[in-house]
Chains A and B, each alone.
Chain A
Amino acid sequence: MTATLTKHIVDVQDVSLAFGNVKALQTVSLTLAEGEITALVGDNGAGKSTLVRCISGIHKPQSGTISFEGTPVHFRNPEDAREKGIETVHQNLALVDDLTVWQNLFLNRELTRGIGPIRFLDRKAMKEAADRMVSTLAVNVPAVKSKVRRLSGGQRQAVSICRAAGFSSKLVIMDEPTAALGVQETAKVEELILKLRNDGHSVLLISHNFSQVMRLSDQVWVMRAGRCVAGRRTTETSGDEIVSLITGSREN
């Protein structure tokens, strides 16, 4: 690995993980640069999600190290990772339909006020903060008082991304953020992802959509059969090259 000028927010070194006989990850090494959008591509079953789950604290690597901001980390659960500033936008978005937008934004991180152990929700503060989060970040998130049930697919995605981006997170991991969206909603969500980077967040993006990867990312890592087989600067590669790396018709 050559010395680089860029600071790495995440440094994955020789990480392996097997589920029984299935070698999900084999000595995977890659880095995510701070303040960049890094894309992770590969065929189904290539190990993308498993790797992401290691970074976000759901799985524990059996060997190898993961460093976050320069120091090796051993997350026991997703809460650990979240405390360090790693947020994940889940594929199912993890929103509660019958709660309002602000309640979802603050789910399990509610602000309270009170004396000693007797604490009540600070609804006013949460609504105001939610309004700020939504207005600074999102393009198309509706009034924070409306129920999530009333939102469109893109608006839900925006709420979910908003939640991940808030609370001073440093790395936002997104698993197929536009898979279920229409053309216009996809454009809005992409705009939001770029805005995250411009606001200083690092982003790890899993996507099957190559033109999206080319449009958004700064760096692309390609996975195949549990290994990280190649890495490219997005500006120095093409969609065709990425596809041939994914299928294995071209080695590194």
Chain B
Amino acid sequence: MSSISHNPPAQAQRTPTTVNTPESPRPKTAPKSGAWHEDLKRISFWADHAAIIGLVILVAVFTVLNPVFLTVGNIQSILIAASILIVLTIGQAFVILSDGIDLSVASTMTLGVIAFGIAYAQGAGLVVSMISAVVASTLVGVLNGVLIAKGKITDFIVTLGSLSVASGLALVLSDGKPTSITSVELINFSTHGVLIFGFPFIVAAILAVLAHVVLFRTRFGTHLFATGGSKEAAQATGISTARIKVAVYTISGVLAGVAAILLIARVGASEPAANTTFLLNSVAAVVLGGVSLTGGRGSVFGPIVGALLLTVLTNGLTLMNVSQFYQPLAVGVVVILAALLSRFQK
């Protein structure tokens, strides 16, 4: 083979770069200092803030229609009512940000509720019952994650299957019968709080802050966004996307367990109910909150505002004596409107 001498490489004509290139060195950034009324004219402004704008509009409308709506008592009850959905929504947001979807989240909660009921009925203390709920739900989450990541089955199919498995298991284990749970501690927990914030809402708020920190202040969070944004790029830089997938479904499972405890505290019983509304509303809240359904883009607080909006909608309609039958209809309309608006996001 040819010998290699070390000549100083006489480079053929180095390409002189033109001084004025059409490409600007910095991308145009949106004029942040621009007048706020300029912002209002852009449809993307409305799309980016759909949840908060919708919430403000709903609150205004309901306040005009019924003065009871904006009383301290009612706000308190809205926040408590929203807390279960908020906890489930945080889990759903993690999953959707990683480009997945957890259809089993409500059934997983139901299984947690039943695990709690069984432990409690057998004389286990409150703490052990609560741990049972979280463990049962977490197992479903881990199973979802492992099947999706290692078994390489689509998120949709796996969680559709575990939706059925978890709710079936809940029926089998409970024999379809509710167990009433009379615990002074749980009643106190769901009826007391700090200022206007009931304890269930405080739990949800703490989890939300934790979720925000995990997403935006840890390596795991960055890797989650990378996995959801571009799986190939994440893998090329050595990120184990399988690990991220298992982690997000596990988180969703753990949170479904926490939601199960909140649900029992609220209802005072362990029932093998389907809770389908919670599933639909958790996905709806995430979409309303501006999270991209294809993953990689969004926040935690957006979906939480979405969850609040859906709860306000239900609460307001109830206050105005609208039949319960109209509630799913109203939720559906709001979600589709939000999805339409999200097409105009930046």
Q: Which residues of A contact B (CB under 8 A)?
A: 1-2, 4-6, 29-31, 33, 36-37, 78-79, 82, 90, 92-99, 103, 107-110, 112, 119-121, 123, 139-140, 142-143, 146, 150-152, 154-155, 184-185, 187-188, 190-191, 194, 214-216, 218-219, 230-235
Most B CB contacts (10 A, CB to CB) among A96, A103, A215 go to A96
Q: Which of B9, B18, B225 has the most CB of A within 10 A?
A: B9
Contacts of A190 in B (CB 8 A): 15
Query: Which of A31, A99, A150 has a CB less than 8 Å from the CB of B222?
Result: A99
A120 closest partner in B (C-beta): B217
B7 pairs with A110, CB closer than 8 A: no
User: Which residues in B have their C-beta under 8 angstroms from that of A79?
Assistant: 238
- Of the residues A4, A30, A109, A231, contact of B5 by C-beta under 8 Å: A4
Cβ contacts under 8 Å, B7 to chain A: 233, 235
User: Which of A4, A155, A215, A233 has the most chain B CB atoms inside 10 A of its CB?
Assistant: A233
Of the candidates B12, B22, B218, B230, which one forms a contact with A120 in the assembled complex, judged by CB atoms under 8 Å apart? Answer: B218
B225 contacts across to A, CB distance below 8 A: 96, 98-99
Check B15–A215 contact: CB distance below 8 A.
yes
B6 contacts A121, C-beta separation under 8 Å: no
Q: Is B194 an interface residue (CB 8 A)?
A: no
CB-nearest residue of chain A to B4: A4
Q: Does B296 contact A (CB under 8 A)?
A: yes
Known: A78-B238, A188-B21. 7 other contacts (CB 8 A): A6-B6, A98-B296, A99-B225, A121-B222, A143-B29, A155-B23, A191-B15
The 6 nearest A-B residue pairs measured at CB: A94-B236, A2-B3, A218-B9, A94-B233, A96-B229, A108-B237
A110 touches B219 (CB 8 A): yes
Contact B296 A96 (CB under 8 A): yes
Docked Cα-Cα span, A219 to B22, in Å, equals 33
B11 and A215 form a contact (CB under 8 A): yes
22 contacts between A and B (CB under 8 A): A1-B1, A90-B236, A94-B232, A96-B234, A99-B226, A107-B239, A108-B237, A108-B239, A119-B218, A120-B213, A121-B219, A140-B21, A143-B26, A143-B29, A155-B27, A184-B18, A184-B23, A194-B11, A214-B12, A215-B14, A232-B2, A234-B9
Q: Do A231 and B1 have beta carbons less than 8 Å apart?
A: yes
**Contact across chains for A29 and B26 when beta carbons are under 8 A apart:** no
Closest-by-CB residue of A relative to B230 is: A96
Q: Does B25 contact A (CB under 8 A)?
A: yes
Q: Is B17 an interface residue (CB 8 A)?
A: yes
Q: How far is the CB of A93 from chain B (nearest CB, A)?
A: 8
Identify the closest chain B residue to A186 (Cβ): B15
